[in-house]
Amino acid sequence: MERVISGIRPTGNLHLGNYFGAVKSFVKMQDEYDCMFFIADWHSLTTHPTPENIRNSVKTILSEYLACGIDPEKAPIYVQSDVKQVLELYLYLNMNAYLGELERVTSFKEKVRKQPDNVNAGLLTYPCLMAADILMHKADKVPVGKDQEQNMEMARLFARRFNRIYGVEYFKEPASFHFADKAVKVPGLDGTGKMGKSEGNCLYLCDDEKTVTKKIMRAVTDQGPTQLNQEKPEVIQNLFTLCELLSGKEAAEYYNDLYNRMEIRYGDMKKQMAADANALLAPIREKIIAYANDDALLERIMRQGAEKAAARAEKTIEEVREIIGFRKI
Ligand code: ADP
Ligand code: TRP
């Protein structure tokens, strides 16, 4: 069976972008592939969280994953920092990753622009750690959102380079797997292109019913179309994309016809979107709360996940050490 791995950084709560862009595809894949999922807490250190932050966010994200339907019996979930072998592979990959190519990664350049006071080496070598996560498990497929494509290209590059340097066919080039064969990009509620934690335009899976309704009703729109069959401005196109995700294709087409006839009332469309969002989120929210209150269960799930991941990782590291020329330990 093909192997699948994916990780998510524990930085705050899961939002609709994470759900449609990542977690939903994880849930589907656990029945079709040999899956493992992990919480990328090492990656989150680039933003210097406090110990309290880390403890809380790992627990939160784990509860949210489980509430979305990840079943640890089918797909082990582990915490990245529980599997130390990844660090060793990260070191080896770092030795063959070049400054120029790392500096050219768009997300790195963006961070340099957005947080010039914290351009740490971890940010620069982020793609190496991500490649280590993936190559460690010899993953065939990695479900990720569109924004991770460049990191995936780096992982493939590092796999090829390792094989070339040592004259082996050891690492597989992992393929990106986009849910429904295309990368979903969930727009933000502020009318901008991407829902994201740092953008402050998110609908969170744990938002209560009132908050969900309020946020959707306040989503940015315009004055409405002024011509028949008018091309939609970006803000409106984004609202329609969200509508299709929440309420389905038919509903989006219905409102699209109204838009084309200049009869649309954004308020009606949003009301439906809010109702559908609440129908989707209510059961998830309930489960999040139940898991978050069961520390013993969360601990057991993390331990079992780490054991399975470490067993695989250990095998890879032993083989890699031998390829590189290190003694067996
Ligand atoms: P954020 O941008 O809020 O910090 P993350 O970068 O932690 O979110 O996202 C984790 C996963 O969720 C990634 O696989 C990412 O591609 C996916 N994801 C996040 N936001 C979106 C979005 N708006 N649309 C599609 N996928 C998304
Ligand atoms: N970089 C990913 C993100 O920000 C998270 C991540 C870390 C990841 N390691 C990974 C995703 C390995 C897939 C595979 O979303």
**What is the predicted pLDDT for the residue at 107?**
93
Residue 182, pLDDT > 70, answer no
The alpha carbon of 54 and the centre of ligand 1 are apart by a number of angstroms equal to 19
Counting from 1 in the atom list of ligand 1, the atom nearest the Cα of 196 is 3
Please report the pLDDT score of residue 179 as a whole number: 65
Say yes or no: 221 and 278 in one domain.
yes
Residue 22 has pLDDT above 90, yes or no: no
User: Where does ligand 2 bind, in terms of residues with CB under 6 Å?
Assistant: 5-9, 40, 43, 130, 133-134, 142, 144, 148, 151
Specify the amino acid at residue 220: V
Q: Which band of pLDDT confidence, cut at 50, 70 and 90, is reported for residue 180? A: low
Answer for the pair 207, 281: CB distance below 8 angstroms, yes or no.
yes
Domain span holding position 218: 209-289
Substitution candidate for ligand 2 out of 29, 35, 148 with most atoms within 8 A of CB: 148
Residue 10 CB less than 6 A away from ligand 1: no
Judge whether 92 lies within some domain.
Answer: yes
pLDDT > 60? residue 152: yes
Looking at the fold, whether 180 and 109 belong to one and the same domain comes out as yes
Kindly state whether residues 162 and 273 are assigned to the same domain: no
195 in any annotated domain: no
**Catalytic residue positions?**
111, 194, 197
Mean pLDDT confidence for 147-171: 97
| Proximal ligand: closest to the CA of 15 | 1
Tokens describing residue 175:
């393929």
- Hey, what are 278's tokens? 């609440």
Displacement of CA 13 from its chain's centroid (Å) = 12
Tokens of residue 304, six digits:
């079992």
Residues 239 and 146 in one domain: no
Domain contains 201: no
Same domain? 283 vs 301:
no
Average pLDDT of the residues in 245-271: 97
Tell me the per-residue pLDDT of 65-120, one tens digit each, with 9 for 90 and over: 999 999 999 999 999 999 999 999 999 999 999 999 999 999 999 999 999 999 99
Contact 288, 64 (CB under 8 A): yes
In degrees and rounded to multiples of 5, residue 35 shows phi and psi of -100, 150
Q: How many domains does the chain have?
A: 2
Q: Are residues 100 and 246 in the same domain?
A: no
CATH number of domain containing 230: 1.10.240
Residue 329 covered by a domain: no
Contact present, 70 and 26 (Cβ < 8 Å)? yes
| Bridging pattern class, strands 34-39 and 77-79 | parallel
Q: How confident is the model at residue 329 (pLDDT cuts 50, 70, 90)?
A: confident
Q: Are residues 21 and 135 in the same domain?
A: yes
Q: Is residue 23 part of a domain?
A: yes
pLDDT tens digits, residue range 270-301? 999 999 999 999 999 999 999 999 999 999 99
> What CATH number should be reported for the domain holding residue 18?
3.40.50.620
| Same-domain check for residues 217 and 301 | no
**Is the distance from CB of 122 to CB of 46 less than 8 angstroms?**
yes
Residues 301 and 278 in one domain: no
Residues 18 and 164 in one domain: yes
**Do residue 280 and residue 310 come from a single domain?**
no
Q: Is residue 193 part of a domain?
A: no
Point out which residues pair with 79 in neighbouring strands: 39
pLDDT of residue 12: 85
Same domain, 282 and 312: no
**Could you tell me if residue 192 is inside a domain?**
no
What is the helix (H) or strand (E) element at residue 303, kind and residue range?
helix 295-324
CA 45 to chain centre: 16
Ligand 1 mean position to 263 CA, how many Å? 34
Tokens read off for 251: 């509903």
Token code pair at residue 51: 């110990």
Residues 111 and 32: their CA atoms lie apart, in Å, by 36
Q: Is residue 240 part of a domain?
A: yes
Pocket test for ligand 2, best of 45, 86, 130, 185 (most atoms within 8 A of CB): 130
For the chain, the maximum distance between any two Cα atoms, rounded to a whole number of angstroms, is 73
For residue 84, what are the CA distances in angstroms to 77, 121, 136? 15, 19, 11
37 SS3 class: strand
